[in-house]
Amino acid sequence: MLSNLLSNALKFTEKGVISLKLNIDSEEENQVLLNFLIEDSGRGMTAEQASKIFNEYQQNNKDDNRVYGGAGLGLSIVKKLLLAMNGEISVKSKLNSGTLFKVKIPFSKPKQNQQSQNQNPEKFTDINLVGKRILVADDDVLNQSIVSHILKSENVVLTLVKDGFEALQLLKNNIFDIVLLDIHMPNITGEQLVQMSNEFASDNSKIPFLALTANTTEEDVLRYKSIGFKDVIGKPYTAKQLKEQVYKALN
């Protein structure tokens, strides 16, 4: 949901500021209400447009679909997801002066035994990814920025592409140590690409492929592994989780 809201802010803010703030709205013994504020200084909306922005298939300007690739269509889905989580969303906007989305979500606090378990994960104290040739294919610009920030801090040799077709061309002519594939991409999906190893350079057919996806049920993970993925990195992930799973797959 935050990815969708931030992506829209990026699309409609040619210059200026985009911010994401998080604070605790209220807190009880077993629950905390978190307040997310997504604000931009972009093109904004009229009051009438803002009142309709969460309607299904609503777009404020027919030219937006051509210019921005369907911007705004995900907001009805965001609202449905929030309602399912007992959350809420509101928007304040002024034409040519920016937009502020407020998202409130209640979360249950973990019990003490859950906290203890989470404090003792498998540890990788000597992670070293320096010089590793990593190919990442993801069509979402925000996801690309996140994975780039995380992996470049490890001094890897990173190659980013926006779909499976571009990744395939590189796999035919360049050698990598590991490949991270978003599952849902245009042209060639991650699932399709991992099954095309006969078209890769011979050295690339033997390297690990990791799936980047929010589909992380036991059945999903087993299916991804059965078609050629070494493992699955569940979205959303932390920097620590991403680096540890890449390191584990390489070793």
Task: Give the integer Cα–Cα distance in Å for 215 and 34.
Answer: 25
Cα torsion for 60, 65, 70, 75, to the nearest 10°?
0
Query: In one letter, which amino acid is 139?
Result: D
Structure tokens at 206: 């033997």
Per-residue pLDDT of the chain (251 residues; tens, 9 = 90+): 998 899 889 989 999 999 999 999 999 989 999 999 999 999 999 999 888 888 865 555 545 444 444 444 578 889 999 999 999 999 999 999 999 999 999 999 887 654 444 455 455 557 899 999 999 999 988 899 999 999 999 999 999 999 999 999 999 999 999 999 999 999 999 999 999 999 999 999 999 999 999 999 999 999 999 999 999 999 889 999 999 999 999 99
Structure tokens at 169: 């061309």
Which residues are bridge partners to 178 per DSSP?
Answer: 134
Residues 6+ apart with CB under 8 A from 125: none
- Which pTM was predicted? 0.59
**Residue closest to 99 by CA, chosen among 163, 12, 180, 194:** 12
